[in-house]
Amino acid sequence: MKITYYGQSCFGIEISGKHLVTDPFVTPNELAAHIDLLSIKADYILVSHGHQDHIHDLEALAKHTGATVVSSWEICTWAGTKGIEKVHPMNTGGKWQFDFGTVMCVTAQHSSSFPDGTYAGNPMGFVVWNDRECFYFAGDTALTMDMKLIPMLCPPLSCALLPIGDNFTMDVNQAIIASDFIKCKEIIGCHYDTFGFIKIDKEAAIKAFSAKDKNLRLVDIGSSIEF
């Protein structure tokens, strides 16, 4: 499994020969100015909620790649109004077997609306697994006790992609607690530094995780790691 970071909460994940992309937000992100959106490969696009910093580039990327959008019923319906032909609606607690593996939608404690302020359904995270790997993409979320359900319902996690920027989501210390709840020591941070509200001390964050015998990876935008 290869994971590439494109900034904010946008990742490219290669798994079982397929390319998954999460929450496409690249072109407005000054930190990702060196990333060519249309060079990103996507067979599926997983969208956690409707805020602009998670769906801004959804229409362009989905139309360019022909990817299937996997998200809430409301976001999939909205995508259809934008001319995106391939969608797979889901909701929290449900799972589906795709050609790359299983996707389960899990609780994210946050809000969700489209850029025009209309309702975008419940926010969610995703746990994705096959017979070799399993990862958790948390989307935007507060720390929630529901995270304890993940190791009860899903295979052991290879890694988890967790927001750590505070203000809108968990902070670093809450993400450490979350890693306990989900029983995962390999954490990739996201949703930090993009805006002034979510600037973090990256060195201190890494040290805080290390002090709890956990590994926080803060991947450079455009760089990849493998599991």
86/14 Cα distance (integer angstroms): 20
The C-alpha atoms of residue 107 and residue 148 are separated, in whole angstroms, by: 11
**32: its two tokens:** 């990702």
Crossing angle for the helix pair 58-65 and 73-81, to the nearest 10 degrees: 70
- Spatial neighbors of 171 by CB under 8 A, at least 6 apart, are 164, 165
Residues 6+ apart with CB under 8 A from 52: 25, 115
Which residues have CB under 8 Å from 186's CB, separation 6+?
157, 158, 159, 160, 214, 215, 217, 227
pLDDT exceeding 70 applies to what percent of the chain? Answer: 100
Average pLDDT over residues 83-95: 97
pLDDT of residue 169: 98
Q: What share of the chain is helix, strand, coil (3-state, %, to 5)?
A: 25, 30, 45
Q: Which CATH class is domain 2-226?
A: alpha beta
Domain boundaries, the chain: 2-226
Given pLDDT bands bounded at 50, 70 and 90, which one contains residue 19? very high
In whole angstroms, what is the distance from residue 206 CA to residue 78 CA? 38
Q: Residue 124 is encoded by which pair of tokens?
A: 């969610």
Q: pLDDT tens for residues 121-163?
A: 999 999 999 999 999 999 999 999 999 999 999 999 999 999 9
> Which residues are paired to 137 by β-bridges?
126, 161
Reported pTM = 0.98
